[in-house]
């Protein structure tokens, strides 16, 4: 679920929201309109309370938290002051990636140049120093794609397919061959199609389908048959189409649809019927079209649409009707289009599935109503291990680590439920946790969640950007620090 206005007259008052209770018991929050003309946004990202948004014309605008130790200057506007309204810092931007743990950002421009700013303790800005940068600095040319990792480490794939890395080199996770952080980009290998990075190890798929890995290997997570840490890339297997590096496991789908797994195998996440460490890939399933992982558990969708799961199940997160860990794949349900599994830092697992008929299903821990089923009558059991049908005609779903969930229906309406701390659901004042889905707004294309910081963003079909929830440090961007319990349109000046 990833998906400008002319300057307004000073003193234009925002229209206050009215709460509308409909005859059928549904609820619609009437959004606050700051101006009648929308700016066309295409993307929004957050660095834990600092917001960055790209317009249709490639302008990069920033606002929010920009002060304090380790946070100063991460907006890239040349200051260390919080910004309560959007400020433009760059043009011709195609994408921006952020690291909310190490508080820095990387922006890619249309000409392939890569720019960085923010905190630079490990050299993650790639500018040859460890000095923090309050404004964007160019570090590379001819870049096609870029990724960050939460340990202060960054990777870029150039247009010629070469992979470059810089920043923190924990256990050799940069792949440069030796220990020690790197403050400037270093070429790692050629002909790279994609790269996946975890906290202490890294994986790359080359254009020929070969999978390579390096970094920490204490639990056999690299898949090279050893527990030796690797400071340079080692080949693991051939004919790999995609890879999901997870917690306690790694999973690769080969071009023939076979699923292979390996790693520490805690909770049986490898799926081979045991909990033994697997240091080399082992085939688990055939005809797999997608795989996703949570905190110690895995889901796979097969060509026939069936969903299979295995691994940790103490919170009913597999949806098989039990709370028993599964060491081998078990079928959960049929006709599944995709699955959204929570990888919660709070260890409160829950899962949502959209079926091919558009129906939305949920299961797992329903604390704070996060599953979307009203279970207030069940005081001692907040876990639901059996799938529950929640809604119809759903196009996409997004769930946060801190207990809220949002669904966009096929008609573009946005619905929300779960934890409503500081109004992050957008349902209006006076509402506690929401136990069943409530409509928030119409004509929504994408919704973005800032996990752990209680703020939500939505981009509507007309390109307008809306935000609500916690407004500490001005992170909503409406010119205030007042929390917003209903959507507010963000405008540019």
Residue range 49-100, pLDDT digits in tens: 899 999 999 999 999 999 988 888 999 999 999 999 999 999 999 999 998 7
| The pLDDT of residue 364 | 84
- DSSP-derived letter for residue 320 is S
Tokens describing residue 425: 């659901």
Over pLDDT 90: what percentage of the chain? 73
Across the strands, what pairs with 10?
Answer: none
| The pLDDT of residue 300 | 98
Tokens describing residue 359: 């129906």
How many Å apart are CA 392 and CA 223, to the nearest integer?
Answer: 41
Q: What global pTM score does this model have?
A: 0.88
Determine the average pLDDT of the residues in 349-366: 89
Q: Is the pLDDT of residue 293 over 80?
A: yes
pLDDT by residue (tens digit) across 419-460?
A: 898 999 999 877 888 888 999 999 999 999 886 678 999 999
Q: Is the pLDDT of residue 15 over 70?
A: no
Residue 189 and residue 204 in contact, taking contact as beta carbons nearer than 8 Å: yes
Q: Is the pLDDT of residue 409 over 60?
A: yes
Q: Is the pLDDT of residue 341 over 90?
A: no
What is residue 268's three-state secondary structure? helix
Q: Is the pLDDT of residue 378 over 80?
A: no
Phi, psi torsion values for 423, nearest 5 degrees: 75, 25
Inter-CA distances, 179 with 41, 167, 195, 312, 407, Å: 42, 12, 20, 34, 45
Residue 205 and residue 211 in contact, taking contact as beta carbons nearer than 8 Å: yes
Residue 292 and residue 355 in contact, taking contact as beta carbons nearer than 8 Å: no
How many Å apart are CA 15 and CA 461, to the nearest integer?
Answer: 21
| The pLDDT of residue 246 | 83
How many Å apart are CA 355 and CA 113, to the nearest integer?
Answer: 41
User: pLDDT band at 154, cuts 50/70/90?
Assistant: very high
- DSSP-derived letter for residue 325 is -
| The pLDDT of residue 382 | 55
Q: Is the pLDDT of residue 14 over 60?
A: no
Residue 103 and residue 97 in contact, taking contact as beta carbons nearer than 8 Å: no
How many Å apart are CA 355 and CA 337, to the nearest integer?
Answer: 5
Q: Is the pLDDT of residue 23 over 50?
A: no
Residue 353 and residue 364 in contact, taking contact as beta carbons nearer than 8 Å: no
User: pLDDT band at 373, cuts 50/70/90?
Assistant: low
How many Å apart are CA 117 and CA 100, to the nearest integer?
Answer: 13
| The pLDDT of residue 137 | 98
Range of weakest confidence among 226-230, 295-299, 481-485: 295-299
| The pLDDT of residue 185 | 98
Q: Which residue has the higher pLDDT, 485 or 350?
A: 485
User: pLDDT band at 356, cuts 50/70/90?
Assistant: very high
Determine the average pLDDT of the residues in 16-34: 32
What is residue 31's three-state secondary structure? coil
pLDDT by residue (tens digit) across 298-320?
A: 999 999 999 999 999 988 889 99
| The pLDDT of residue 452 | 67
Tokens describing residue 144: 């096609």
| The pLDDT of residue 74 | 93
| The pLDDT of residue 451 | 67
What is residue 369's three-state secondary structure? helix
DSSP track, 382-435: -EEEEEEEEESSEEEEEE-TTSEEEEEETTS-EEEEE--GGGTT-S-TT---EE
Residue 325 and residue 332 in contact, taking contact as beta carbons nearer than 8 Å: no
| The pLDDT of residue 47 | 77
Residue 34 and residue 491 in contact, taking contact as beta carbons nearer than 8 Å: yes
| The pLDDT of residue 39 | 77
Q: Enumerate helices (H) and strands (E) in the chain, giving the number of each.
A: 0, 38
Supply the mean pLDDT for the chain: 87
pLDDT by residue (tens digit) across 104-134?
A: 999 999 999 999 999 999 999 999 999 999 9
Of 56, 149, 175, 114, nearest in space to 464 by CA = 56
Residue 153 and residue 147 in contact, taking contact as beta carbons nearer than 8 Å: no
Residue 31 and residue 14 in contact, taking contact as beta carbons nearer than 8 Å: no
Q: Which residue has the higher pLDDT, 177 or 377?
A: 177
Q: Is the pLDDT of residue 193 over 50?
A: yes
Sign of CA dihedral 238, 250, 46, 78: negative
Phi, psi torsion values for 162, nearest 5 degrees: -75, 145
| The pLDDT of residue 16 | 28
How many Å apart are CA 137 and CA 400, to the nearest integer?
Answer: 32
pLDDT by residue (tens digit) across 197-251?
A: 988 999 999 999 999 999 999 999 999 999 999 999 999 999 999 999 987 889 9
Widest Cα–Cα separation across the chain: 67
| The pLDDT of residue 225 | 98
Q: Is the pLDDT of residue 142 over 70?
A: yes
pLDDT by residue (tens digit) across 157-168?
A: 999 999 999 999
């Amino acid at each position: 679920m990833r998906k400008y206005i002319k300057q307004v007259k000073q003193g234009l008052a925002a229209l206050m929201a009215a709460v509308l209770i409909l005859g059928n018991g549904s609820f619609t929050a009437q959004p606050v309109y700051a101006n009648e003309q929308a700016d066309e946004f295409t993307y929004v990202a957050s660095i834990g309370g600092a917001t960055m948004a790209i317009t249709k014309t490639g302008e990069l605008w920033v606002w929010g938290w920009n002060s304090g130790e380790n946070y100063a200057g991460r907006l890239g506007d040349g200051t260390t002051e919080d910004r309560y309204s959007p400020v433009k810092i760059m043009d011709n931007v195609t994408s921006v990636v952020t690291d909310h743990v190490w508080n820095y950002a990387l922006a890619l421009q249309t000409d392939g140049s890569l720019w960085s700013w923010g905190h630079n303790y490990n050299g993650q800005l790639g500018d040859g120093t460890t000095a923090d940068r309050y404004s964007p600095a160019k570090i590379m040319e001819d870049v096609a794609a870029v990724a960050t990792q939460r340990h202060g480490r960054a990777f870029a794939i150039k247009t010629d397919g070469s992979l470059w890395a810089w920043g923190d080199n924990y256990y050799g996770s940069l792949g440069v061959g030796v220990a020690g952080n790197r403050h400037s980009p270093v070429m790692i290998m050629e002909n790279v199609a994609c790269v996946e990075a975890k906290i202490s190890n890294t994986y790359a798929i080359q254009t020929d389908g070969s999978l390579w890995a390096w970094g920490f290997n204490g639990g056999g997570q690299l898949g090279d048959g050893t527990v030796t840490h690797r400071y340079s890339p080692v080949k693991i297997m051939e004919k790999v189409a995609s890879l999901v590096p997870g917690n306690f496991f790694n999973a690769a789908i080969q071009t023939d649809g076979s699923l292979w797994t390996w790693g520490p195998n805690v909770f049986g996440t490898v799926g081979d019927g045991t909990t033994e460490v697997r240091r080399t890939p082992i085939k688990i399933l055939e005809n797999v079209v997608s795989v996703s992982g949570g905190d110690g558990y895995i889901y796979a969708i097969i060509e026939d649409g069936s969903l299979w799961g295995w691994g940790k199940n103490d919170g009913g997160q597999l949806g098989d009707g039990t709370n028993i860990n599964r060491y081998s794949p078990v079928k959960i349900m049929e006709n599944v289009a995709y699955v959204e599994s929570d990888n919660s830092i709070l260890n409160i697992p829950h899962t949502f599935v959209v079926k091919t008929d558009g129906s939305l299903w949920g299961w797992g821990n329903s604390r704070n109503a996060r599953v979307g089923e009203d279970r207030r009558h069940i005081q001692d059991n907040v876990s639901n291990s059996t799938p529950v049908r929640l809604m119809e005609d759903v196009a996409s779903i997004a769930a946060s680590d801190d207990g809220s969930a949002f669904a966009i229906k096929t008609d573009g309406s946005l619905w929300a439920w779960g934890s409503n701390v500081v109004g992050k659901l957008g349902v209006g004042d006076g509402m506690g946790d929401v136990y069943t889905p409530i409509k928030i707004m119409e004509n929504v294309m994408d919704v973005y969640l800032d996990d752990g910081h209680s703020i939500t963003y939505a981009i509507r079909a007309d390109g307008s950007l809306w935000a609500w929830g916690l407004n500490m440090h001005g992170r909503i961007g409406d010119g205030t620090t007042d929390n917003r319990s209903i959507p507010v349109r963000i405008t540019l000046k």
